[in-house]
Amino acid sequence: MATIQLTKVVAPNLWGWIGDRTGRRVQLVRLGAVAGALCFLGVFLDTGFYGLLLVMLAFTFFWNAILPLYEVITLQGMGRDRERYGRVRLWGSVGFIVSVAGIGWLLDLLPLTTLPWLLLPLFAGIAISTLLIPAETATTRPKRVRGSLKAIVADPSVLAFFAMNILLQVSHGAYYTFFSIHLEKLGYDKLAIGLLWSLGVFAEIILFIFMHRLLRRFTVRQIALTAVALTLLRWGMIAEVSSVLVLLIIAQCLHAASYGALHAISVHYIHGYFGEQHHGQGQALYSGLTFGAGGAVGAWMSGFIVDAYGTPPAFWASAGAMAVAFVVAWCWLRPPPRPA
């Protein structure tokens, strides 16, 4: 499972560079979807531990390349109507809820060994759906413009953007790894825990629906600072008042800020800062450094804290990470330039 995080750091950067150089991102997404599905077939072979490790490396190398490229394709396809990105992205959240509920129900009826068979139609559907996306032509190849990737990344506001998002994902380490365990210790049953997870994603969907209105009323910097502050509040509430169901429900609704709002405005930051010529690499850096490295460090560090002190201190450490993120964003984060 750790190979997922490893290839999430490496693969998107390589594929993003190829996409920026060639302008053929749709073809790369098709290749990643088909090759990933074919590599996944290796889980049906009796390969032992190291064989399965190689299968996961190959599968996730292609799988982790798809989403950053597709984010670029989506924003380019929307043209100047980028404020409505949330209305496209919400369907990923809908799919998450449907798949968790549907596969969970099926695994209550079927043995766990059927899980790979349940996933195959999903991978096939993704591969087929990529064929419906119009491919780029030679005229859509990005123009070469002045300005290096190194110079963009060295900008203090860009560094602050990445630092804020890395700390955000570090803070989510305790949530993704120990939230269910935290609630079990407080006496919540599995159904309640599942519903609380779904509530967070549902709140995220609602946020995505109305995100374009928020972007018209507030700057992306204002939204970022507010979302970081609400995320800090969320981790503190989970640490201290999870035993009070009403307050826990409020904390879970704040997932709209800690994931939905910050991811939506991050896509705008990447598009504004990196422009068309480096968009793929910018999106890859965002995915690899934050969700990959940041998420892995957060899960790893929270494990030590939980072992030594329990789950509440782990969530307080998450709140501490967000306090640092707020200071960084307040001091150095600036609105991104509007892309052409």
Residue-wise DSSP of 91-145: HHHHHHHHHHHHHHHHHHHS-GGGHHHHHHHHHHHHHHHHTTSPPP-GGGSPPP-
Task: Report which residue type is found at 193.
Answer: I
Contacts of 194 (CB under 8 A, 6+ apart): 100, 104
Q: Using CA atoms, how far apart are residues 30 and 136, in angstroms rounded to an integer?
A: 12
pTM of the entire predicted model: 0.79
DSSP secondary structure code for residue 80 in this structure: T
Q: Which residue has the higher pLDDT, 279 or 121?
A: 121
Q: Which of 72-86, 168-182, 314-328 has the lowest mean pLDDT?
A: 72-86
* pLDDT score at 87: 81
Domain ranges of the chain: 2-133, 149-332
Average pLDDT, the chain: 87
Quote the percentage of the chain above a pLDDT of 90: 42
- Please report which residue ranges of 110-244 form alpha helices under DSSP H: 115-130, 149-153, 156-185, 190-217, 220-241
Express each pLDDT in 117-127 by its tens digit.
989 999 999 99
Angle (CA) 166 172 173, round 5°: 95
Q: Using CA atoms, how far apart are residues 144 and 277, in angstroms rounded to an integer?
A: 7
Q: For the domain 149-332, what is the CATH code?
A: 1.20.1250.20
Q: Using CA atoms, how far apart are residues 86 and 328, in angstroms rounded to an integer?
A: 25
Asked whether 149 and 281 are in contact (CB, 8 A), the reply is: yes
